[in-house]
Amino acid sequence: MSLLVVGSIALDTVETPTGRADEALGGSAVYFSLAASYFTDVMMVGAVGHDFPPEHKDLLESRGIDTSGLVHLDGKTFRWTGRYAENMNDRETLDVQLNVFDGFRPDIPEAFRGAKHVFLANASPEIQMHVLEQIESPEFVASDTMNIYIENELDALKRLMPRVHCFVLNDEEAVMLTGERSIVSAARAILDMGPATTIIKKGAHGSVMASQEDVFLLPAYPLAREIDPTGAGDSFAGAFCGTVAKSGAEFAGLRRAMAYATVTASFCVEGFSVDGFRELRRADIDERYEDFMRMTHVERVIG
């Protein structure tokens, strides 16, 4: 089953306590697609400018990602600049240049409109809705959001949420959206806004998935050395949706998808930009998955 993602394609400048990268490949759709490509076929829609280096597109295509929905517009590629604190979890956005992403209203290619699995990566909820309305009969829709849309476009976000099966966001955004400080209360408040499932990511502190019936928690995969967390959240979503596209969305399947998401995101953090994916093989993900299962397994106590 193939998976459609619509989101940003970026040139990121990132500073972390371990070093920096300048104008390196990034963007929500890029991280998502690379991670998802280990699990299913991926179709990507996004916009780049005349300055987008062709080797970046080659990398995506080398992972089998269908880039025919990538449009080249007259202007510069979206740029984001960020700096991470010593704890590697808190980050500050220093600069955003929307460039060709500004006002980009994606036209989904005819060949992609039959997609059954869709990820609406970070964009204004009005644009996310515009994308969703072009998909003929989606079976599983997941979406992301961010603080600026919670602050400025809350009504549009609340119209989108009931149309989404799985609403993914980070802990700060969850608190902002619901006013609830406890993650479990925030998750419940989000479910009341319409999605069947929500995932709240807590960076290095793991993630929580909740539906009306169940709550499931996982820690992050512990890394000896973190290099650059940029894109970890989008990589998490990519592996999650990729696993769902491949093996279904019943809750037990979603738990497995959470574990693959956690493990795949950890590879992203081990390099700047998309470097963690350049040499990565599916076997490496499976090996770390086994390791993660061992680390988190608890026997039931009887008697």
| Chain residues that interact with ligand AMP, rule: CB under 6 A | 8, 10, 12, 26-28, 80, 96, 122, 230-234
Q: Minimum distance from CB of 29 to ligand AMP (Å)?
A: 8
Spell out where the chain has E strands: 2-6, 10-16, 19-26, 41-48, 66-72, 78-84, 91-97, 117-120, 140-144, 166-170, 197-201, 207-211, 215-218
Taking the least distance from each CB to ligand AMP, the nearer of 127 and 245 is 127
Q: Minimum distance from CB of 250 to ligand AMP (Å)?
A: 26
Q: Minimum distance from CB of 273 to ligand AMP (Å)?
A: 8
Distance CA 234, CA 147 (A): 15
Q: Minimum distance from CB of 5 to ligand AMP (Å)?
A: 12
Taking the least distance from each CB to ligand AMP, the nearer of 16 and 28 is 28
Q: Minimum distance from CB of 93 to ligand AMP (Å)?
A: 7
Taking the least distance from each CB to ligand AMP, the nearer of 1 and 98 is 98
Taking the least distance from each CB to ligand AMP, the nearer of 30 and 161 is 30
Taking the least distance from each CB to ligand AMP, the nearer of 7 and 195 is 7
**Token pair recorded at residue 80:** 């984001």
Distance CA 1, CA 41 (A): 7
Q: Would you give the DSSP letter of residue 161?
A: G
Decide the pairing of beta strands 19-26 and 41-48.
unpaired
Longest dimension (CA), the chain: 69
Which residues does 45 contact at the CB level (< 8 Å), separation at least 6? 4, 5, 6, 29, 69, 70, 106, 108, 109, 112, 131
Taking the least distance from each CB to ligand AMP, the nearer of 12 and 226 is 12
- How large is the C-alpha radius of gyration of the chain? 18
Q: Minimum distance from CB of 154 to ligand AMP (Å)?
A: 16
